[in-house]
Structure 1
Amino acid sequence: MPKVTDEYRAARRDEIADAALRAFRRTGFQATSMADIISESGLSAGAIYGHFASKNALVMAVAERIVGSRVADVERLAALDPMPPPPRVPRMLVEGMVRDLGSTGVMLQLWGEGVTDPELRTLAASVLAELRRTLGRYVALWHERAHGATASGAHEIGVAQAPLLVSAVQGYVIQATLVEDFDGDAYLDALERYFPA
């Protein structure tokens, strides 16, 4: 029997995760069953369960992939010279999230499930903590480079501003999902204009 490579396993996991996201967008997270995901993927139940033991395991893998992509995006911005000011970073995060998920509604649904599902709440908390750390480092580095702040002073600013930047992304997600006439570009333009840099 030929050996299954790590690359093949990773590609198959991504294929399954993509099928799950399509099903979540169509019927909502709570209403989507593993049978729906199996049907959407076109794979056998054994193929799915060989990679993911449950719907929550699938959600965790998708979240890790998306957060990993966003962290990499922020790190790419940090490598630029000059770095974009911190108020521009939420636009990049939102654009990447929408590109990966196809809809802000999927993210909002998962946050809502985290209210009553301890496993998903832990996942959401870890995702938010990772984003705060990443954004805090970015803000600190930007203040060191742009304003000549000391490392400790820049760190303090980064710790203070990172939750606000995360909240700006969350605010976008909530309004883009629930408010019919929400103007996402105007929201992000205003953030870039008025958020302190």
Structure 2
Amino acid sequence: MPKVTEEYRVARRDEIADAALRAFRRKGFQATSMAEIIAESGLSAGAIYGHFPSKSAIVVDVASRVIGSRILDIERLAQVEPLAPPPALPRVLVTGMMRSLGSPGIMLQLWGESMSDPEVHTLAHEVIVQLRAALTAYVSLWHQRTHGTPADEAEALAVEQVPLLISAVQGYVVQASIVPDFDAEAYLASVEKYLPR
């Protein structure tokens, strides 16, 4: 029997994650069954379970991919001169999230799922830690380059400001998911205008 390469495994996991995300977009995490993910993927149940032991494992994988991409967005932005001011970062994050997920409601459902599923809760915590680290590095760098702030002071400022940036993204997700007449552009413009620089 021929050996399965790592590239094949990664490609198959990607295929399953993409199928799951399509199903999640239609019905949400909670309402989507493994049978629906299997049907969406076109693969056998054995093929799915060979890569993911449970729906929670798929949810964790999909969410990790989305957040990993957003962290890469921040790291790429740190390579561009001049650096965008920190209040521009929530727009970068929500734009990328919408591109990946299609709906902010999926992220809100993930947070809700984290309250009852320990595996998803662990992921949600890890995501916040990773996002906070990427944003802190960026904001610290911005203060150093833009204002000439010494590195230790810039780091301290970043630690204070990053929770506000994360809260701005969370506020966007909640309101865009729940408020029918939510004005996304006005919200992001206000974030850019009023959050500290």
Establish whether TM, by shorter chain, passes 0.5. Answer: yes
For residue 134 of structure 2, what is the aligned residue in structure 1?
A: 134
For residue 107 of structure 1, what is the aligned residue in structure 2?
A: 107
Counterpart amino acid of residue 55 in structure 2: K
User: In the aligned structure 2, how far is the partner of 1:135 from the partner of 1:58?
Assistant: 26
User: In the aligned structure 1, how far is the partner of 2:59 from the partner of 2:195?
Assistant: 32
TM-score, length of structure 2 as denominator length: 0.97
Aligned-residue Cα RMSD (Å) equals 1.0
Q: Do residues 36 (structure 1) and 36 (structure 2) align?
A: yes
For residue 15 of structure 2, what is the aligned residue in structure 1?
A: 15
CA contact (8 A) 1:172 1:184 kept: yes
Task: Describe the superposition over 1:24-62 as per-residue Cα deviations: whole angstroms up to 9, x where unpaired.
Answer: 121221111111100111110011111111011111111
CA contact (8 A) 2:29 2:59 kept: no
Identity of aligned residues (%): 65
CA contact (8 A) 1:133 1:162 kept: no
Matches within 5 A, 1:76-91: 76-91=76-91
User: In the aligned structure 2, how far is the partner of 1:28 from the partner of 1:90?
Assistant: 24
User: In the aligned structure 2, how far is the partner of 1:94 from the partner of 1:65?
Assistant: 15
CA contact (8 A) 2:161 2:196 kept: no
User: In the aligned structure 2, how far is the partner of 1:162 from the partner of 1:103?
Assistant: 24
For residue 65 of structure 2, what is the aligned residue in structure 1?
A: 65
Gaps of 5+ in 2: none
Counterpart amino acid of residue 85 in structure 1: P
SS at match of 2:66: helix
User: In the aligned structure 2, how far is the partner of 1:7 from the partner of 1:38?
Assistant: 21
User: For this pair of structures, how many residues does the alignment match?
Assistant: 197
Task: Describe the superposition over 1:44-82 as per-residue Cα deviations: whole angstroms up to 9, x where unpaired.
Answer: 001111111101111111121111111111011101111
Task: Describe the superposition over 1:132-160 as per-residue Cα deviations: whole angstroms up to 9, x where unpaired.
Answer: 11101110000000000011100001111
For residue 45 of structure 1, what is the aligned residue in structure 2?
A: 45
- 1:2, distance to aligned residue in structure 2 (A): 3.4
